[in-house]
Amino acid sequence: MFDVKKIRADFPILSQEIYGKPLVYLDNAATTQKPQCVIDAVSHYYEHDNANVHRGVHALSERATADYEAARKIIAGFFNARSEREVIFTRGTTEAINLIASSWGGANIKAGDEVLITHMEHHSNIVPWQMLCNHVGATLKVAPINDAGELIMDAFDSLLSERTRLVGVVHMSNALGTINPIESIIEKAHAVGAKVLIDGAQAAAHLAVDVQTLDCDFYVTSAHKMYGPTGIGVLIGKESILETMPPYQGGGDMIRMVTFEKTEYNDLPYKFEAGTPHIAGAIGFGKAIEYIQNIGFAAIGRREKELLRYATNKAEVFNGLRQIGTARDKACVLSFVMDSVHPHDLGTIVDRDGVAIRAGHHCAMPVMQFFNVPATARASFSIYNTEGEVDALFAALKKAQDIFA
């Protein structure tokens, strides 16, 4: 049985009050809260093992290195990477995509080539490709979506060609909750010789991901959306591709030997990890993944579907509310607009009742433009949320509606 009270007890931040009301945290698509085990792991590193990794022979450095590399092993197992050499620590999804665009893209995408993304992408999976295409003279193509916020696969197919060098697609939309058919997308892209990047920032805490079964070339995500620390993420890439890619940054730890005449680069994964890494973040990331594994995706999936169904049912009968994103296959996100109330006003008003939601374009301005809205309000759910919190959200929305009536 899924014990939500027990789960909530693992997250100390949830016990507080905001403006005298119990905190209702429904901004999980922006960042998730952290369980005590993650907080303890980060604190333990700084209290007991604080030292740089890989370079020291003293006890603290050896302990820090062991925990840092243990986290890499946990992550490799979680995503079923072929080896730990395929697991590259980054500052998050954004840096991981920029790394791919700069290193692989800079070496492989030329004038006349095409990069294909979708209309529902986060800015992090749009801007780096625009920059690269503008620099080399390639073309950025965009697969459209329909009014439900679903990818139009016939149009996607028509945009794929022998000129497509890379397909970049979000696994789960942060603005709409849409879950894309990435298995089919990967197969279609590979059939024309294109590489595939999957942005898993929203998906990895909610859906089991097996990179070998998917056969994607790159999968990227961020720890802070998976109950882990901020400022740490991961790029998982096929070793055969990573080996051919030039380093993204130069400096310490990504080298084997340096002279003024030449530099020999380090082996994978360290070739892409220049400088002192976010050691505590990586250790905390490993603990966050273990936390997810202890609950299990079967239980997570069932619980989050229940919550989304409950919230969606309330939204459908709430007068004056219009949902943005009604895909048949979606998860954890309820985006909406309300008659006569700007989303920013909604966010401010419900906050006075202790309800934390997100209001804005969600780093997905093209999605807002498609639906012809300036912004949406977004409630996003996680394993520690309850039906009572959904009720609190809609009670706060009714107050906001009454104020503007």
Amino acid (one-letter) located at 144: P
Q: Compute how many other C-beta atoms are within 10 angstroms of the C-beta atom of residue 309.
A: 10
37 is catalytic: no
| Helix axes of 36-44 and 279-295: crossing angle, nearest 10 degrees | 150
Q: Is 199 left (phi over 0), alpha (psi -120 to 50) or beta?
A: beta
Name the active-site residue from 37, 133, 332, 363.
Answer: 363
Phi, psi dihedral angles at 44 (to 5 degrees):
-60, -40
Could you give the domains of the chain?
A: 4-30+296-404 (3.90.1150.10), 39-293 (3.40.640.10)
pLDDT at 55: 80
E strand intervals along 215-278: 218-222, 233-237, 255-258, 263-265
One digit per residue, the tens of pLDDT, for the chain of length 405 reads 789 999 999 999 999 999 999 999 999 999 999 999 999 999 999 999 999 999 889 999 999 999 999 999 999 999 999 999 999 999 999 999 999 999 999 999 999 999 999 999 999 999 999 999 999 999 999 999 999 999 999 999 999 999 999 999 999 999 999 999 999 999 999 999 999 999 999 999 999 999 999 999 999 999 999 999 999 999 999 999 999 999 999 999 999 999 999 999 999 999 999 999 999 999 999 999 999 999 999 999 999 999 999 999 999 999 999 999 999 999 999 999 999 899 999 999 999 999 999 999 999 999 999 999 999 999 999 999 999 999 999 999 999 999 998
pTM for this model (two decimals): 0.97
Identify any residues that bridge with 199 across adjacent strands, giving them in sequence order.
170, 220
Distance CA 220, CA 204 (A): 9
Report the pLDDT value the prediction gives residue 56, as an integer from 0 to 100: 84
Report the alpha-carbon distance of residue 158 to residue 301 in Å, rounded. 33
What does the buried/exposed string (b/e) look like for 6-37 if buried means 16 or more CB atoms within 10 Å of the residue's CB?
ebbebbeebeeeeeeeebbbbbbbbbbbbbeb
Whole-number Å distance between alpha carbons of 195 and 172: 19
Angle at alpha carbon of residue 332, lines to 4 and 313, rounded to 5°? 90
227: phi then psi, degrees, rounded to nearest 5: 70, 15
What local confidence, expressed as pLDDT, does residue 93 receive?
98
The pLDDT, as a whole number, for residue 204 is: 98
Per the CB < 8 A criterion, the answer to whether 32 and 224 are in contact is: yes
Nearest Cα residue to 397 out of 325, 324, 318, 326: 318
In degrees rounded to 5, what are phi and psi of residue 358? Answer: -105, 140
Handedness of CA 91, 92, 97, 100 (dihedral sign): positive
Q: Do residues 218 and 198 touch, judged by C-beta distance below 8 A?
A: yes
d(C-alpha 390, C-alpha 251), whole Å: 48
Give yes or no for a contact between 350 and 338, defined as CB atoms under 8 angstroms apart. Answer: no
Looking at residue 405, its pLDDT comes to 81
Helix (H, G, I), strand (E, B) or coil at 289: helix
Looking at the DSSP bridge assignments, the partners of residue 140 are 115
Helices 127-136, 93-100: crossing angle, 10 deg rounding:
20
Q: What token pair was written down for 301?
A: 């999936």
Burial of 203: CB neighbours in 10 Å, binned 0-12, 13-18, 19+:
buried
Q: Is residue 1 a contact partner of residue 377, using CB atoms and an 8 Å limit?
A: no
Q: Is 78 exposed, middle or buried (0-12, 13-18, 19+ CB in 10 A)?
A: buried
